[in-house]
Amino acid sequence: MTARTTAAHGEPGKQDAARAKQAVLIALDWGTTSLRAYLFDAAGEVLDTRISTAGIMNLPVPAEEGGFDAAFDEACGVWLAQAGVLPVLAAGMVGSAQGWVQAPYVETPAGEDALVAGIVKVRAASGVEMAVVPGVLEPGALPNVMRGEETQIFGALGAQGGADAAPVSQPAAQVGTQTATQTATQAATQPALIGLPGTHAKWVMVEGARIARFYTFMTGEVYAVLTAHTILGRTMKRPVAPDTAAFVRGVTVAREHGCAGVLATAFSTRTLGLTDQLAADEQPDYLSGLLIGHELAGLEAVLARRDVELAACAPRLIGADALCERYRLALAQFGCGGAQIVHRATERGLWRIAVRAGLVVASDRTDQTV
């Protein structure tokens, strides 16, 4: 396996060195299958971004042969050569037992200060020191864990729109300025619900600016294996374009007829096909809607146990745009029309934690907005 790094942001050439001279921080989102590196200036603006496939399970050379050093040098060596010594912060699976250094989980309820207190440092072969953000653990009969999402969550909390969001560029238009004041006020007083769709989707309740509790749904991974490795995939055809109607139908079936559980309803993908009620190219989106519908029905049930009504929530969504749009559509079927998609939560969160940890001094002190 070889890692591939691409410069995703900024213009090439002579401007690179000039930009690097303004840099005050390197921050990494280092997961299982990818490494995203951001170069920040003192106002919290992203100067440059580099994206690599060198996730912790895909290092350019094995970990015991210096794989982490090699991946880090490949992603950030140019910046360090141009800018000299910079503080480095990293979040994600790089802090797991399989990572570069283990940053033990912080338990819920977990605020930013607890994350900062849990930071563990590792020194690269080059002498550069990297601060690694811990993950969060919710203990209990069904424990839950996150690594990386905690940083995105604090990024989303900082992205309340308006002037608060100034430290990372272009925030206002992407966060929904029309309700910015309202949501900023709500966030200070009421529990906030944050959804992170994906392979292992997470739903997080934030209370008093602390991660209070959260749930993990294996929706993305289960969808992948059902389509790739079970009888359901055999009759499916990929549609030319995403089929929104089939998706919504799946969500509705889960919501209205999901009482037997997803182990039962999933089979309808096949039987509706067998009975000519669901075309082959409708089946992938139908199944996707079905699984996301069961996820939201489960979320609705666990929220109801705490007297929280999903339909009354205005969740913030963090993730790939197209997937977040699907969730927004699915949430609407559950009567929850106020979902907002938050952009660049990762960069925001890394910057906030770096400031809180004293790795950098923000020029305008906008890190104190939450």
Structure tokens at 129: 């020191």
219 near a copy of itself, judged by CB under 8 A: yes
299 near a copy of itself, judged by CB under 8 A: yes
Long-range pairs of 31-39 with CB within 8 A, sequence gap ≥ 24: 31/55, 31/56, 31/92, 31/93, 31/94, 31/148, 32/56, 32/57, 32/58, 32/93, 33/57, 33/58, 35/3, 35/71, 35/75, 36/346, 37/75, 37/76, 37/79, 38/347, 38/350, 39/79, 39/83
307 near a copy of itself, judged by CB under 8 A: no
Of positions 229, 240, 241, 322, contacts a copy of itself by CB under 8 A: 229
Cβ-count burial 117-138 (b if 16+ within 10 Å, e if not): ebbbebebeeebebbbbbbbbb
Of positions 62, 104, 139, 335, contacts a copy of itself by CB under 8 A: 139
Cβ-count burial 39-57 (b if 16+ within 10 Å, e if not): bbbebbebbbebbbbbbbe
Give φ, ψ of 317 to 5 degrees: -115, 135
172 near a copy of itself, judged by CB under 8 A: no
Give φ, ψ of 91 to 5 degrees: -130, 160
Of positions 56, 128, 206, 253, contacts a copy of itself by CB under 8 A: 253
Shortest Å distance, C-beta 250 to a copy of itself: 11
- Output 141 or 241, the one with its CB closest to a copy of itself: 141
Residue ranges of alpha helices (H) inside the chain are 15-22, 67-83, 112-117, 149-158, 171-175, 180-189, 219-229, 231-234, 244-257, 262-265, 268-274, 283-304, 321-333, 345-356
Whether the CB-CB separation of 157 and 370 falls below 8 Å is answered with yes
225 near a copy of itself, judged by CB under 8 A: yes
Cis before 242 (ω within 30): no
Of positions 61, 114, 218, 370, contacts a copy of itself by CB under 8 A: 218
- Output 129 or 221, the one with its CB closest to a copy of itself: 221
- Output 240 or 274, the one with its CB closest to a copy of itself: 274
Shortest Å distance, C-beta 106 to a copy of itself: 14
268 near a copy of itself, judged by CB under 8 A: yes
Residue type, 292: I
Of positions 61, 302, 329, 332, contacts a copy of itself by CB under 8 A: 302
Binding segment toward a copy of itself, per CB under 8 A, in 110-118, 259-267, 327-335, 350-358: 259-267
230 near a copy of itself, judged by CB under 8 A: yes
213 near a copy of itself, judged by CB under 8 A: no
- Output 240 or 260, the one with its CB closest to a copy of itself: 260
Q: Collapse the DSSP code of 248 into the 3-class scheme (helix H, G, I; strand E, B; otherwise coil) and give the result.
A: helix
Binding segment toward a copy of itself, per CB under 8 A, in 2-10, 37-45, 142-150, 328-336: 142-150
- Output 88 or 201, the one with its CB closest to a copy of itself: 201
210 near a copy of itself, judged by CB under 8 A: no
Summarize as ranges the residues that interact with a copy of itself (CB under 8 A).
137, 139, 141-145, 200, 215-219, 221-222, 225-226, 228-231, 253, 256-257, 259-268, 271-272, 274-275, 277, 291, 294-295, 297-299, 301-302, 305
